Structure 1
């Protein structure tokens, strides 16, 4: 049955159901097909290829969509993700968040139920045959592809590579069924987890939060099971960033608390990995969450630890997924945290502006999206202290940069800048800045 489902051979599927006592009329009633259509499938070998019909059949027969390669990256799922991206944090999304966070906690703490072991199953239809046996060359090919697409993501946004990453994930999952040494299979799972991690991150960048959570869940499960705690920590950091962003979209402190929990779970994984740089990254982002929750003392403690751990780290000896977190990112995160507080002190604001300015000066063209985020935060900081001309200049740079990357997230992050600009209705340049942000938002 599983083999027939995987290749959409409904002739075999319906025949097996009949052997189990389920007649053609009942199959038709369960699947929403006409009885004549069921007859044609069974007796004449009719093939059903329409995606929506296959989904209806899977759901009607209570078959997990993943068995038919329908569980992910399909047109309907894409449409639903786009709709969800424009919504507030409703009850349905909150349930998704709860499930992902609960799963992350169970995996991290080693209390997950592994009796079903579904993490290796393909999320979508297979597209090409996999080699019978794999070796180190196959692993190097996957890691090289992931590295190349991660570079595209940093410079041009998730929209530049998200579909390519998702397609590569689907194909690479087949390699789990290939023969190879235990060492090769462990390396394959780590490489696959990192690719899921990137697929989640690029989905997040496009506002496809449902897809992102699915990939984050898969990435964390695989990374933890193979003992790759550094990668598992990175996955949790990125899941935290997703929910930090969602809290900012809807001014929802609940999401900030969720993000904080992901960062704290990530620290457990990072400590197990013995990677001070990963700990530093998670502590810096933890400080950002505390800042948004207006817990200044906790923010200061987390920033202090982030700086201490960063000093202890040896960036030349870290994994690929953490190498991006250098001096520029540390400065940027500190600057964003200090200036994101609801009631910052003048000292915090000035220090935050200094950190953001320093981070921007270190950015090259390969980190365009990061530069956009930092220019946005800097523009907001200047406007909050009344330096309207400097705020307008930084804001204009942010808008210009945002228009060059395919990232819904950068557009969302411009909203506070627009709101601050609108507080100065008599300033023509700020009014123009607000209008340019509106134009970008309308285009997404």
Structure 2
């Protein structure tokens, strides 16, 4: 216990109290915390605020010195405030002079006010409020939505750093006090933002950070008891493995997601998981399973009410339904092009005709898949035409996945290099993928 006190490891202190028979309710009553706060600390939430640590020490009858708290918080604040104020006054005057000199040097091209100095702006994070309400959570959700729109439109490279920066600030709110309802919604918002951070990391080729963010997203979604969000995160992580040609691993994640999707009660969520399972079975060359999952996808999609579905899954409309069916048959066409390439073409044409400027990345993927299967079906000229459109759209998207998704088109164009236009397309795709 003394080691835990010295480290100010409140989680371990509470765990040892629980092992000695002290209930969460008793701990909460002694420390002036809610039972939910005690529960979160037992699950690993850190306590950093001086006044909270002091209140815990006093409430549990622990000498403050054991936790390195030599005197009360008010005294500590007065001493720190007086010291910091004097240092800040001196530092601020130096900073003002330096900035004035820097501004003059930039504006006039010479040091006007004193000697030339280098200016290094200080970085600081916006402080989190002591108490938060639903408005604070809604601001996180609005930021996530705006950044997700950028990702859909132009790729993860346009917004990943902004997502990570927002997340860094948003997680500070875990140390703020709030009602139980607000805290639950905060978990939902953080899970969704971590999921977006994972997706954009994956989109720019950062696999390990993607896994880390998806892992945190799962934890927050579980704390919020949000089955739909759990299904979303598992679906996205499965897509990571599909992209890296690991259909068995992807299928396991989709099947886990399917369990959560069923618990969520959202037919559209179930449809998304079924569609992705079909794609994974296609990569495993299991046409019977593909047919079964495609049928179930259509059934679930037909009975879904998009207006009642969670925000994350509303992207899955009729265009995406055709696109996913096309993806499953594209995967099967690798093994049996005569049977499946023409189906893949027909399905992807339906979705590609409907994509607008807000879905640039998805449009590139759909066009490259369509072009690839035109080649497989023997329609070389149409493959060349559609392939060039894919390249044109690809130049507008900042996504490492675009180059990877164009690889099958490069391989198919290479088989027809006797055709000068096909040879030119092969060279253009290869150059794009290497740039």
Q: Is 1:286 the equivalent of 2:284?
A: no
Number of aligned residue pairs: give it.
323
Deviates more, 1:187-196 or 1:431-440: 431-440
Structure 2 partner of 1:351: 343
8 Å contact 2:184–2:223 — kept in the other structure?
Answer: no
8 Å contact 2:338–2:376 — kept in the other structure?
Answer: no
Structure 2 distance, partners of 1:398, 1:183, is 46
Say what the alpha-carbon RMSD is for the aligned residues: 2.1
Structure 2 partner of 1:239: 237
* Structural mapping, 1:69-84, within 5 Å: none
Structure 1 residues 116 and 264, CA gap change in structure 2 (3 angstroms): farther
The structure 2 residue matched to 1:415, chosen from 407, 411, 416, is 407
Of structures 1 and 2, the one with the larger relative CO (CA 8 A, separation 6+) is 1
Q: Is 1:266 the equivalent of 2:257?
A: yes
Q: Is 1:381 the equivalent of 2:379?
A: no
* Structural mapping, 1:123-134, within 5 Å: 127-134=125-132
8 Å contact 1:158–1:406 — kept in the other structure?
Answer: yes
* Structural mapping, 1:298-313, within 5 Å: 298-313=289-304
The structure 2 residue matched to 1:170, chosen from 164, 168, 171, is 168
1:117 CA displacement: 3.6
The structure 2 residue matched to 1:401, chosen from 374, 393, 402, is 393
Structure 2 distance, partners of 1:363, 1:256, is 27
The structure 1 residue matched to 2:133, chosen from 115, 132, 135, is 135
Structure 2 partner of 1:426: 418
8 Å contact 2:151–2:200 — kept in the other structure?
Answer: yes
TM-score norm. by structure 1 comes to: 0.70
Structure 2 residue ranges without an equivalent (≥5): 1-5, 8-39, 49-122
Structure 2 partner of 1:325: 316
1:146 CA displacement: 0.4
1:350-400 residue CA offsets vs partner (Å, 9 max, x unmatched): 222111000011111100111100001101111111110011111111111
Structure 2 distance, partners of 1:119, 1:302, is 41
1:88-134 residue CA offsets vs partner (Å, 9 max, x unmatched): xxxxxxxxxxxxxxxxxxxxxxxxxx998458899xx9833101111
Structure 1 distance, partners of 2:182, 2:344, is 46
Structure 1 residue ranges without an equivalent (≥5): 1-15, 18-113, 248-254
1:349 CA displacement: 2.8
8 Å contact 2:337–2:377 — kept in the other structure?
Answer: no
8 Å contact 1:119–1:222 — kept in the other structure?
Answer: no
Structure 2 distance, partners of 1:301, 1:214, is 33
The structure 1 residue matched to 2:305, chosen from 273, 298, 314, is 314
